[in-house]
Structure 1
Amino acid sequence: MRSWMGWWCNGKKRGEQQMEDISRILNNWEFNAEDICVRKIVGQDGREKLQVRVDLGMLQMNLDGRPDGTRPHGKESLLHHFRRKARKHQAETEDPLQLTEEDCDVLGQESLQYYHRYVCLLRLGDYDRVITDTLHNLAIFDLVTESSTTDEEKMLFEQYRPYVTMINTRAQGELRLLEEDYDGALKIIDEGITNIEEMLDEYEEFESPEDSEEIYALQTWREEITRSRPITLKQRLAQQLQEAIAEEKYERAATLRDRLEGLEKKRF
């Protein structure tokens, strides 16, 4: 016992290699409680990774595949494994696969890994990967809803569907804004709001759409886009025309109307 305690106090067991101290990395990367401190690096294996500075140290995740870099059951993820298992089970028995409580637990742990990653990716503006990761988690929710044997297990996952849908909507909208497709972004936001409203109406356990933080966040973002989007010459002339009519400046209104008609003719 004394010998075992000696190894423990020395911080390693006999024959175990000394672990590397990461203090140098932490000292050169200050933690900020007001922001998500995340960066991309290239690992020793040549693959891109995410590093996240937290108050007690640092987390590191793979950028693609499972965040922890593992391949459970030889598959890209547990979602892929259980999907394949469900197809095989149904082909052999003609009955749907029933997930056990343990199955749901490990799927929940996987979805948590993807959550940590897509939040960081959103902060970095890597919207394509945010979409991929949020769709992954939504697919896990679908699988559990279809295959879990208890309503309690289903609700453990379904309660997060509005939030994940909001993040997915945000990422899709941001991609449209990068292309200056403001109408496309607004359409995506409206679809996201509608989807969340339908989710909340489906379950009595959920809050009402009027109290949804996810819907409020998307509505607020929509207002910001509408308010800040650049307007076209046609829109500016139309606004000026309405102002001229309201102020009874009919000569100016006639001039503005002629310019608008001229723009319309140029389109054809």
Structure 2
Amino acid sequence: MARKENIDRLLREWPYDPQGISVRKKKGDDGREVLQMRLDLGLLQLEISGRPDGTQPEGQETYFAHLQKKAEAEGETFQMSEEECEESDREFVQYYHRRVCWLALRDFDKAVADADHTLALMDFCKEYSPDDQWTLSHEQYRPFVLFHRTQAAALNALGDSGAEAAVEQLNQGLETIKRVFADYEAEEEYDEDELVTRLIELRESLRKHFDVGQTLQERLEEAVASEKYELAAEIRDQMAKRTNAR
């Protein structure tokens, strides 16, 4: 019997849902676990660890790791080539798809890890980019990546440490996004940004649902702003005790 090389049956058994993100875990032929995402024109299969396409560029776990090694070797003379920019773009896209998969599967710690990889690669590209326009083509998405990271970190904290820890993660993420807007002299756009609004709505819904008042970090910031330094010291002690108890 001739070997079938199309995926017609797979696509029929797993129809595309235009209203949602369809993601699943499956076993590969060798028993390893992989991620699959159903798209309108087919499906993507991604490895769950290392680089999503399963390759090891130049013998490294990721292309980013290869670039870091090369930059360290060449020192101040290093600048990314056109080919290296293209390969970095490929890795950006792969990690975006896997991050979306992790969010859909509610594997929030893995979504945070993949977002951190993307943000670190963005930092690297910003430092060694050969072209300002190419840099901006990525930097425009930094708030979006931070949105995903903040959302995932908050929901992961909610499950691990409770609602107050989740609120703190949201506050930290919002502050980081605010700094990005400030870096590009767009502070006036921060309050109206849709992603910022969604994170604030999530934070306030957690406060309401879990009856969370001011967090220790919020109380500390208020005490410092009001120059109540003894109170600030007491709050720091409470925070230290909480950290040591975990």
Matched-pair contact (CA < 8 Å) for 2:206–2:212: no
Matched-pair contact (CA < 8 Å) for 1:134–1:164: yes
Cα RMSD for the two superposed structures: 1.9
Would you say 1:116 and 2:97 are equivalent positions? yes
Give, in whole Å, the separation in 2 of the partners of 1:80 and 1:167.
23
Alignment partner, residue 166 of structure 1: 147
Give, in whole Å, the separation in 1 of the partners of 2:158 and 2:190.
26
| 1:79-131 deviations in Å (ceiling 9; x for gaps) | 000000011111xxxx1521123212210111111001101110101112111
% same residue: 36
The one of 194, 197, 200 equivalent to 2:178 is 197
Shift of 1:20: 1.7
Alignment partner, residue 229 of structure 1: 210
Give, in whole Å, the separation in 2 of the partners of 1:206 and 1:73.
41
Larger Rg: 1
Would you say 1:21 and 2:6 are equivalent positions? yes
Shift of 1:161: 0.9
Q: Residues 224 and 205 (structure 1 numbering): CA distance in 2 closer, same or farther, change over 3 Å?
A: closer
Q: Residues 97 and 231 (structure 1 numbering): CA distance in 2 closer, same or farther, change over 3 Å?
A: closer
Q: Provide structure 2 residue ranges, at least 5 long, that are not aligned to the other structure.
A: 214-246
SS in 1 for 2:5: coil
Q: Provide structure 1 residue ranges, at least 5 long, that are not aligned to the other structure.
A: 1-16, 233-268
TM-score of the superposed pair, with normalisation by structure 2: 0.81
Q: Which amino acid in the other structure matches residue 27 of structure 2?
A: V
Alignment partner, residue 86 of structure 2: 105
SS in 1 for 2:148: helix
Shift of 1:45: 2.4
Correspondences of 1:1-268 after superposition (within 5 Å): 19-90=4-75, 95-204=76-185, 208-229=189-210
Q: Which amino acid in the other structure matches residue 53 of structure 1?
A: R
Q: Residues 231 and 89 (structure 1 numbering): CA distance in 2 closer, same or farther, change over 3 Å?
A: closer
Q: Which amino acid in the other structure matches residue 65 of structure 2?
A: H
SS in 2 for 1:30: coil
Alignment size in residue pairs: 212
Q: Residues 130 and 207 (structure 1 numbering): CA distance in 2 closer, same or farther, change over 3 Å?
A: farther
Q: Residues 121 and 36 (structure 1 numbering): CA distance in 2 closer, same or farther, change over 3 Å?
A: same
TM-score of the superposed pair, with normalisation by structure 1: 0.74
Matched-pair contact (CA < 8 Å) for 1:201–1:208: no
Alignment partner, residue 241 of structure 1: none
